[in-house]
Amino acid sequence: MRYEIKGDNLPVVICELENGEKMITESGAMSWMSPNMKMETSSNGGVGKVFGRMMSGERMFQNIYTAINGTGTIAFASSFPGSIQAYEISPGNELIVQKSGFLASEAGVNLSVHFQKKLGAGFFGGEGFIMQRLSGQGIAFVEIDGSIIEYNLQQGQQIIIDTGYLAAMSATCSMEIQTVPGIKNVLFGGEGLFNTVVTGPGKVVLQTLPISNVAAAIRPFIPTGN
C-alpha cells in the first residue's frame, strides 16, 4: 500500500492498493475510489469488539475495501479542519487515540476500546475516559484537530495537558487527572477544574484546535428557539 496526504489544513489521504490489498475504515469515511474497489460491511470481530467500538465513539460496523483485478485507489478525507497523520502500528508499538480519531488503516490493524485504569480520569477528565487502542500490524491514519505537536517523553517525564488537547499517545504512556490547585485558580483562572497528566516513556501527540473548544466558542452565537 502506498499513500499520499494532501490538502494542507483540509487534508485527505489517497491510498494506492495492489491487487488483493485491503483497507478498513468507519462507515462514511470514504471520499472517492476507483471502480475496482470492492466494499464489504462487516462487524470485523465478535460482539465484544462491536460493543467496544460503540463505546469509544465509533460506528458499530466497519467497511472493508479490497482492490480487485489490479491496482486500486481510495481516498479518505478528514471530517474537521486539521491534520491526518500516518502511524506504523506493530506489537510493542501500539497507539492510544482520542475518540473518533481513527480514520482508516491497513487490514492488519485492530481497533478496540481503551479504558483508563483510574475511574477519576473518566468522570472528571471528560474526553480522556474512553479512548481507542490501535494494535496489530500495519499503517493507521489518525485525524488531528488543528495542527499537530509531538513530544517524546523519557521514563518518568510528564506533561500537563488541558482537556481536549491530547490527540494520541503511545500505549507505554500512562494518564491520570490532576485537580487544578487553589480556589482562586479554579474560580478565576478560566482553565477548568482538571488537567490531564501524561507520564512517559513514549510519544505524546497534541492537537491545537480541539473540536470541543470550537463548539464552545460558537455556541453563544447560535440562535435559540423561542
pLDDT tens for each residue of 45-72 = 554 555 554 554 455 678 999 999 999 9
Residues 6 or more apart in contact with residue 111 via CB below 8 angstroms: 24, 49, 53, 56, 58, 62, 102, 105, 132, 133, 134
pLDDT higher than 90, residue 153: yes
What are the structural domain ranges in the chain?
Answer: 2-217
The pLDDT score that the predictor gives to residue 216 is: 79
pLDDT tens for each residue of 79-128 = 889 999 999 999 999 999 998 899 999 999 998 888 665 544 444 444 44
Size (the chain), residues: 226
190: three-class secondary structure by DSSP: coil
198, 166 in Cβ contact below 8 A?
yes
83: three-class secondary structure by DSSP: strand
Tell whether the torsion through CA atoms of 65, 139, 86 and 212 is positive or negative.
positive
Which CATH number does 2-217 carry?
3.60.160.10
pLDDT tens for each residue of 9-29 = 899 999 999 999 999 998 778
What gap in Å lies between CA 105 and CA 67, rounded to an integer?
14
